[in-house]
Amino acid sequence: GELARVMLALRLVLTSGPPTLVFDEVDAGIGGTAALSVGKALSRLGLTHQVLVVTHLPQVAAYADNHIVVDKLDDGNNVVSTLNMVDGDARVRELTRMLAGQPESLSGRNHATELLEQARNERDSL
């Protein structure tokens, strides 16, 4: 269903289109194994294109070469958005937060580390 349509769209893009591609929540409504498949497909697409992906899924975010966190701060009078590049331990903490809802969860941290390692190994084999 949805995953097949995403894959078809990615295949079409591979044969033509601009060198920079933006996907805004291309993973909406999916999770688990389907999200991992989308992450892998986007990673493959990144071999030949610059890919910018907006996602709320750690399974997709783990496949990124660079991870930028967008925060929105609203003090009641003003709304300010900030962008922060995360890597190393900060990236593990962010993926942990995405997985477990809090960056200090030990089980979430273990899962985030495993997810990053899996994505790194799969990216390296492309």
> What is this structure's pTM?
0.81
Residues shown for the chain: 126
pLDDT digits (tens, 9 = 90+) for 65-120: 999 999 999 999 999 999 999 999 999 999 999 999 988 899 999 999 999 999 99
User: How far is Cα 102 from Cα 108, in angstroms, rounded to an integer?
Assistant: 8
pLDDT digits (tens, 9 = 90+) for 12-22: 666 666 678 88
Average pLDDT in the chain: 89
DSSP per-residue letters across 59-94: HHHTT-SSEEEEEEEE-SS-EEEEEEEE-HHHHHHH
What is the per-residue pLDDT for 77? 96
For residues 97 and 88, is the Cβ–Cβ distance under 8 A? no
What is the per-residue pLDDT for 86? 98
What is the per-residue pLDDT for 31? 85
Domains, the chain, with CATH or none: 2-124 (3.40.50.300)
Q: Which of 69, 6, 1 is nearest to 37 (CA)?
A: 6
